Amino acid sequence: MASIILPTFEWTTSCEQVARQLEADDELLVVCDSPADPVASADLPEAADLLVAGDPEGCSGKANAVAHALEHVAQDRIVLTDDDVDRDDDWLATIKRLGEEHGTVTAIPVFYSEEYPFKLLEPLCIVVASIVVDRTNWVTWGGGVTFDRREIDVDAYVDDLRRTVSDDALLAEYTDEVVASRALVNGVRVPGGPRATYERLTRFVTIFYRFAPRRTLAILALFLAILVVGVVAPLLVAAGVTALAYDRYRALGVDRRTWLFAVPSLVLTPFLGVAGIARPTFVWGGRRYRWDDTFDVVVVD
């Protein structure tokens, strides 16, 4: 049994996938910002409860929605997820089972698009997800993560959610160990045009930088160092990064050929990294935020 928290503006195919997998003692908390959001007037399944979180003040809309829902959950086992995740039919049962076995468990995201320039950057996203999410306790992924509320300080987590941007990076701060499962590798199809790509990827960098600045700078320095070596030995570096991307795709079971774009991903990554650290604001979910410190967020508009 679990409480599933699903922030969304509208009822999507992904939402329907979650609803079909609910078991008798599960509850599905669908959270929106406003009664005017399309999901508020949608024909929701009987097992779903609609919560209206209101507009965020000093935090992101996602963090505000999760905080609001956590104040209404009935179960100890919590599952956080998103409305754009592609799931297998046994996704919910699997994440609950793994959570009971291991505590805090996160799925591994595979962001992909058929649009450019994001398609060129798929190897970056997949390699970073494979290494950072799969092999470290640095972050969890809010598109698919479960934890037991008895094992963390939920009240403090809720308070901190209301003064930050990232619910998942914050959750990692409250857990001693995060288990990433390759039984939960989930595709997320995203808009891939220039503006959408820029906003998404620089936001990712900002999240990493706000919660772990030294590690973020170290990774950025590593990419820069590889680029410098690539000037001296371009064929060797090109072959190496392409082989790494291919290996990570196979490890996660990603059946796409975009690993061939490993070199353009490498070239573009430092520019996105610097932009994510330096830019004063970013857009997420239709709102613009200024995030000056981990717990210093201004909703600009």
Q: What is the pLDDT of residues 82-120, one digit of tens each?
A: 999 999 999 999 999 999 999 999 999 999 999 999 999
> Please, which pLDDT band fits residue 128 given cuts at 50, 70 and 90?
confident
296 in any annotated domain: no
**Distance between CA 204 and CA 43 in Å, rounded?**
33
pLDDT above 90: residue 130: no
Mean pLDDT (whole number) for 228-238:
96
267 in any annotated domain: yes
Mean pLDDT (whole number) for 240-260:
95
**Distance between CA 94 and CA 261 in Å, rounded?**
32
Model pLDDT, residue 211? 93
**Distance between CA 77 and CA 96 in Å, rounded?**
8
**Distance between CA 245 and CA 219 in Å, rounded?**
16
**Distance between CA 286 and CA 34 in Å, rounded?**
14
288 in any annotated domain: no
Pair of tokens at residue 13: 């195919």
Number of domains making up the chain: 1
Order of strands across the sheet with 77-81?
48-52, 27-32, 3-7, 77-81, 144-148, 104-112, 178-189, 85-86
> Residue 173: which residues within 8 A CB-CB, separation 6 or more?
211
**Distance between CA 30 and CA 183 in Å, rounded?**
25
* Domain span including residue 205: 3-283
**Distance between CA 183 and CA 98 in Å, rounded?**
9
pTM for the full predicted model: 0.95
Which of 126-135, 237-246, 249-258 has the weakest average pLDDT? 126-135
**Distance between CA 16 and CA 12 in Å, rounded?**
6
DSSP state string for 194-247: HHHHHHHHHHHHHHHHHH-HHHHHHHHHHHHHHHHHHHHSHHHHHHHHHHHHHH
Burial class of 157 by CB neighbour count within 10 A (0 to 12, 13 to 18, 19+):
buried
pLDDT in tens, 30-45: 999 999 999 999 999 9
Model pLDDT, residue 135? 66
User: 176 or 166: whose pLDDT is higher?
Assistant: 166
**Distance between CA 51 and CA 49 in Å, rounded?**
7
> Please, which pLDDT band fits residue 133 given cuts at 50, 70 and 90?
confident
Mean pLDDT (whole number) for 165-179:
93
pLDDT above 80: residue 134: no
300 in any annotated domain: no
Model pLDDT, residue 67? 98
pLDDT above 80: residue 132: no
232 in any annotated domain: yes
**Percent over 70 (pLDDT), the chain:** 98
pLDDT above 70: residue 137: no
Mean pLDDT of the chain: 95
Model pLDDT, residue 225? 95
Residue 167 belongs to a domain with what CATH number?
A: 3.90.550
Model pLDDT, residue 139? 79
pLDDT above 80: residue 181: yes
292 in any annotated domain: no
89 in any annotated domain: yes
pLDDT above 70: residue 136: no
pLDDT above 80: residue 138: no
69 in any annotated domain: yes
pLDDT above 90: residue 186: yes
